[in-house]
Structure formats: structure tokens, C-alpha cells
Copies of this chain bind each other. A is one copy, B any other.
Amino acid sequence: MTDYFVHANGLCETDRVGPRTRIWAFAHVLPGAQIGADCNVCDGVFIENDVVLGDRVTIKSGVQLWDGVRLGDDVFVGPNVTFANDKFPRSRAYQDRVPETFVEIGASLGANCTILPGLRIGRHAMIGAGSVVTSDVPAFAIVAGNPARITAYVDAAGHAMPPPRSVEPPPPGETAVVIPGVTLSLLHSAEDVRGTLSVAEVGPVIPFEVKRFFAVYDVPSKSVRGERAHRACEQFLVCIRGSVSLVVDNGHQRAEVVLDRPTVGVHVRNMIWSVLYRHTADAVVLNFSSQHYDRADYIRDYDEFLRLVMTTTAQ
């Protein structure tokens, strides 16, 4: 525990600090804090007692980590990033229990952003500089603004993805592969004086027997719906009104497509992690499922999904 560095003008009152970690001038770490290896705690940082940092964490200047903050491995905290740990602060009115804030593995908090108390920032998420984060941020999401909204997703490696493709549907009767496990098909459509019709026959187009149907609508602007995978259930999605972005991930590849017309259907197999977001105000997304509702079929944690993919692939 002696192979870490504290600047002559820094104060480090804990000794639970990992090797090769550096603590710089005017930084102040209280006795209860716990800091991993290879961390960089810049000038002027303040770290309270009930704080845990993983390995390879960077904390830039002007940051305070209050009681309740937990940072995973490889987290980046930009300059002047501000955490809060009281939702309704009043001077000298102390909380019974301080809410915990989790920043998960590989996430980055951009310069001068503000993180409200009790939130969870998902793995590899990227918080834009100057954002004010008021709700949980899903894994891989990029958020910006005040209040912060999801603007894009990063890929499985945490890098910026190319801009989403507007759907390029395949010729009638064929399907186009987005990533293995996800295919697009063109619905037959007809337009006449009585309006427009989009048709999907079960069999040729929807490749399973439909057991359940649901429609999603009135999604609040820029909210996220349905971040999950299914163990067994397959889905067929049509965006019948407005537009929506679909991110799909098979554990190896990620891609994003914009569904913006009622004549395109997407078949999503089981064991595909999928996210719907960027719903326009008028978006209506139809979902046909190959299974009746079964809570146990849902995987809602990305890490669990990854483990399952690895297991399956390994076999």
C-alpha cells in the first residue's frame, strides 16, 4: 500500500489506495475513502469518507466525491463535474441515509456536468459536457442537455457509433440482415383513393406464429422504451406512425437503424439486446411476439445478457 503518490500539497487521510495511483496538489481525501489502482486524482479534488473508486479511474480538478458515490473501473470524471447527494438540501438538515450514486464501468462524465442524487449511470455511458443529469442513464447511452436526454448510443466497445442508417428496405420478398439475428423486410403496401394499406402475412413475412400483439405510443420525447433481450421470444416490429431509432446488439455487434415508414418490418430473434429511443411525438410502434407474456423470459441487465451470450457461444 505504499506504492502510490501524493503531492506535497495534497492531503490523503486514507491508506486504502491502490498501487500506482497519484493524488495531486490541493486534493483532499478523507480517511474513509477507498481508491483503486492506477487512478489519477487531480489538483483540488475533494473525496469524502463513504466513497469507493475502482481501478484506472480519472478524477479531474474541481470535482468533489461526496458520501455515497461509487465509481466503477475505468470511469472518467471531467473537470468541475458536480455530484449532489441530497435531493432537497437545507442547511444543517441532515438525511438519515445518504442516497448512493453509481457510475458503472467505463462510463465518462463530461466537463462541468451535474449529477443529481441517487442515480445510476450505466456502463460505457457518455455524459455530455455541461449536462444536468436528472434520471438514470442506460448502458452505452450518450446524453446531453439540461435536463440531459439520450442523443445517441456508443457501440459495444464504448466508441461512438456511425450515425444511424435510415432504413434501406430490401426488395419485396427478400430480407436484409442488419446484424446476425436481426432482419428487415418490406411489407406489401397498396395505395388507392381509400387510403394506404400495409400488409404482413404470417408465414412469408412474420416468420412465427403470433401469440401476442402490443402497440406502444405516447412515448415522452426522447425517452427510452424496452431496453432488454428475450431468452426465447422473437419479435416483429413495425413503426406505423412517426419514427423511432432501434439499436440492436447480439453481444458481438451493435447497429442502429431508423424506422420511419409503415412499410418496413424488423424481425428480432431471441437473445438480441434491443433499445427503442428517439420516438417522435406521434410514433406508434407495433410489436408482434412469438410468445405469450412471460416475465422470466426478459433479460433486463446488459451484463447478464453478455454472460448468457458468452455461455451460449462457448458451447
Contacts and interface: CB of A to CB of B under 8 A. Distances in A.
Interface residues of A, number: 91
B9 A91 contact: no
A224 interface: yes
A106 B199 CA distance: 37
A202 B209 CA distance: 10
A299 interface: no
A49 to B, nearest CB: 13
Interface string A208-224: 01111111111110011
Interface string A9-27: 1010000000000000110
Nearest to A238: B215
Interface in A207-260: 209-220, 223-226, 238, 240-241
Interface string A183-209: 000000001011111111111001001
Nearest to A199: B214
Interface string A118-129: 000000001001
A32 interface: no
A215 B240 contact: yes
A28 interface: yes
A240 B211 contact: no
Interface string A76-104: 10111011100011111000000000000
A212 B199 contact: yes
Contacts of A110: 84, 89
A262 interface: yes
15 contacts: A28-B43, A42-B46, A76-B89, A78-B82, A80-B80, A146-B146, A193-B223, A195-B223, A202-B210, A210-B210, A213-B288, A240-B240, A240-B241, A282-B282, A284-B284
